[in-house]
């Protein structure tokens, strides 16, 4: 049967079916209603590599994603020096935003990255439309890393200072309760963490709290009293959105699908 023999009603039905096929759930999974720009900041001893699963998913859905590696870590570990501190890491991210002319970004900080994104918000607040703390630190003005570090981290930093070292070894992936099949991969990728990032007080004026959209995500299978406290504080504040995810600390590795969903919801 040729097309000119199809009656008008039948033709309309076929056209409607074709439109439905193009705009149904499968198509929606690949085409978000509005593309966003994400800047994903990793935590201690890691690098941009840890976001690969999430960045791939976001990019397939039409978003733009930046996963910069902080100075002295990951593929930039050859730049490790005594000069690497929190200010330098804040500048790493601020400069990506400036030189890429990014606006309306979703800024995500994981773990130690919470320190970094808090500092970034102070310098480039107008560029941030949404800020996300992913099982991350939320420091207050005048605090330094040592004030909130775990006892393990404090002991490692104290030993490094005693020996005159500028970094401390990366902990095994089991420390973060990474899923068993990915532990060898994470162990192979992690690098030493510069101790300078924990020694200098951060200067904050509350810029992160002035971001229009604010989110805290807590990984429930990783024990950390600080993160429990930050989660409880944000959950009690109606200006914040909060989520729980049933996995270890490296949510982007353990549950990339769920994290991608959340990031799109809060973008």
| Separation between Cα atoms, residue 145 and residue 240, nearest integer Å | 24
Q: Is the pLDDT of residue 16 over 60?
A: no
Q: In what order do the strands lie in the sheet with 240-245?
A: 64-66, 37-41, 105-110, 128-134, 213-219, 240-245
Which is more confident, 117 or 33? 117
Which is more confident, 26 or 121? 121
Question: pLDDT averaged over the chain?
Answer: 91
**Tokens of residue 15, six digits:** 């056209």
Q: Is the pLDDT of residue 3 over 70?
A: no
Quick one: what percent of the chain has pLDDT higher than 90?
A: 87
Helix axes of 113-124 and 86-99: crossing angle, nearest 10 degrees: 50
Domain 36-266 has CATH 3.30.450.20: no
> What pLDDT, on a 0 to 100 scale, did the predictor assign at position 22?
39
How many other C-beta atoms are found inside a 10 Å radius of the C-beta of residue 52? 13
Partners of residue 176 on adjacent β-strands: none
> What pLDDT, on a 0 to 100 scale, did the predictor assign at position 32?
54
> What pLDDT, on a 0 to 100 scale, did the predictor assign at position 33?
62
pLDDT in tens, 199-232: 999 999 999 999 999 999 999 999 999 999 999 9
pLDDT in tens, 50-88: 999 999 999 999 999 999 999 999 999 999 999 999 999
Which is more confident, 70 or 20? 70
**Strand pairing of 193-194 and 167-168?**
antiparallel
Backbone φ and ψ for 28, nearest 5 degrees, come out as -65, -30
- Strand blocks (E) in the chain: 37-41, 64-66, 105-110, 128-134, 167-168, 193-194, 213-219, 240-245
| Burial bucket for residue 199 (CB in 10 Å: 0-12, 13-18, 19+) | middle
Lowest mean pLDDT among 27-31, 168-172, 242-246: 27-31
Annotated catalytic residues are 111
pLDDT in tens, 132-141: 999 999 999 9
DSSP structural state of residue 84: -
Q: Is the pLDDT of residue 13 over 90?
A: no
| pLDDT-derived band at 5, boundaries 50, 70, 90 | very low
Confidence (pTM): 0.88
Q: Is the pLDDT of residue 182 over 90?
A: yes
Over residues 143-171, the mean pLDDT reads: 95
Query: Which residues are CB-contacts of 263 (< 8 A; sequence separation ≥ 6)?
Result: 38, 54, 58, 106, 108, 132
């Amino acid at each position: 049967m040729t097309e000119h023999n199809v009656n008008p009603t039948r033709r309309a039905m076929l056209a409607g079916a074709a439109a439905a096929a193009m705009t149904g759930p499968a198509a929606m999974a690949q085409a978000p209603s509005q593309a966003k720009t994400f800047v994903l900041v990793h935590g201690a001893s890691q690098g941009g590599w840890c976001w690969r699963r999430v960045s791939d998913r976001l990019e397939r859905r039409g978003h733009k994603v930046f996963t910069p590696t902080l100075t002295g870590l990951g593929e930039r570990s050859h730049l490790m020096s005594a000069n690497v501190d929190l200010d330098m890491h804040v500048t790493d991210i601020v400069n990506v935003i400036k030189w890429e002319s990014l606006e309306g970004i979703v800024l995500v900080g994981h773990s130690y990255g919470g320190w970094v994104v808090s500092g970034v918000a102070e310098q480039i607040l107008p560029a941030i439309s949404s800020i996300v703390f992913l099982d991350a630190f939320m420091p207050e003005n005048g605090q330094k890393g040592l004030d909130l570090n775990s006892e393990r981290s404090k002991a490692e930093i104290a030993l490094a200072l005693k020996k005159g070292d500028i970094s401390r070894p990366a902990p095994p992936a089991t420390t973060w309760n990474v899923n068993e099949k990915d532990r060898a991969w994470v162990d192979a990728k992690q690098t030493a963490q510069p101790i300078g990032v924990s020694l200098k007080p951060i200067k904050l004026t509350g810029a992160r709290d002035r971001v229009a959209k604010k989110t805290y995500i807590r990984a429930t299978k990783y024990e950390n009293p600080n993160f429990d406290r930050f989660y409880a504080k944000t959950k009690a504040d109606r200006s914040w959105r909060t989520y729980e995810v049933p996995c270890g600390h490296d949510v982007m590795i353990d549950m990339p699908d769920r994290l991608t969903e959340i990031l799109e919801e809060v973008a």
